[in-house]
Amino acid sequence: MFSNLDKPLIMGILNVTPDSFSDGGRYNQLEAAVQRAEMMLSEGADIIDIGGESTRPGSDPVPAIEQLQRVIPVIETIRRQLNQDIVISIDTTSSQVAEAALNAGANLINDVSAGVNDPQILKLAAAREAPIVLMHSQGTPKTMQDSPHYDDVAGEVISWLRTRIQIALEVGVKKKNIIIDPGIGFGKRKQDNLDLLAQLNDFVALGFPVMLGTSRKRFMGAICTVSEPSELVTATAVTTALGVMAGVKLFRVHDIKENRQAIEVAWAIKNSRLSDGLAGSGN
């Protein structure tokens, strides 16, 4: 599904939770969630990522049964009512939730723990031949921002991801179904996040599709002196454009239209091959 990506894709964030950092409570009712998914599709989303557990800094884990109550009706309704070809992702670290989501119509597993929290999720991905995102995180959402530390953040994150990739391959996940994510904001300081963004090409060089999730994150607010996540749409689009130039293939975002524009322009620049006739035209 993602092994031979050409143009980058947008994964739209649909948090059906009461406490997500940016949009908690806005889409935790079925009708609102489905309407939001429909809007994201109309604005250019390629994937809808549905999560029933907030992973914001300081958040507590949510039992699988509660996640299921939140996400399964949404997945079933989106699959039934909206475009049947849409790719639906389940954002969870629980194999129980992931399996039920796949049964309900999801196509992709997005695991912010890369199988650390529940190793069975890797076996599930292998058995179902489902693409899976392996994301780096230092610590758990509850404690990850307490005192993160790296001596060489890009090198350490890459080494960690190599280990998780190898474990996934050993249990039967096919290489073509592995996507990696450096985990911006997950157990990282502001400078760590900046260093990772500056070295995205090193992650691309690993040979797996790279997903980037910077959407509305607080490290950009610290740079822009903005406190409201919803005011970081432009900042997010800047990182999206940089990601396209580095070779990133998937972008997980809240704001579809703005990031779609960033991708379109950056992609055109990246692939620009001016002919002799246009080179001096001023266009």
On whether residue 197 sits in a domain, the answer given is yes
pLDDT tens digits for range 147-167 = 788 999 999 999 999 999 999
pLDDT tens digits for range 22-40 = 544 556 688 889 999 999 9
Band (pLDDT 50/70/90 cuts) for residue 57 is low
pLDDT at position 200: 98
On whether residue 245 sits in a domain, the answer given is yes
Q: Whole domain around residue 25: which residue ranges?
A: 9-279
The total of structural domains in the chain comes to: 1
pLDDT at position 61: 79
Amino acid letter, 53: E
Q: Where are the beta strands (DSSP E) in 117-258?
A: 132-135, 178-181, 211-212, 250-253
Catalytic center residues: 217, 252
Residue 13 main-chain phi, psi, to 5 deg: -85, 125
On whether residue 3 sits in a domain, the answer given is no
CATH of the domain at 122: 3.20.20.20
Band (pLDDT 50/70/90 cuts) for residue 138 is confident
Percent of the chain at pLDDT exceeding 90: 76
On whether residue 238 sits in a domain, the answer given is yes
What is the distance between the alpha carbons of residues 127 and 130, in angstroms, rounded to a whole number?
Answer: 8
List, edge to edge, every strand of the sheet that includes 9-15: 178-181, 132-135, 108-111, 87-91, 47-51, 9-15, 250-253, 211-212
On whether residue 61 sits in a domain, the answer given is yes
Q: Where are the beta strands (DSSP E) in the chain?
A: 9-15, 47-51, 87-91, 108-111, 132-135, 178-181, 211-212, 250-253
The average confidence (pLDDT) of the chain is: 89
On whether residue 227 sits in a domain, the answer given is yes
pLDDT at position 84: 72
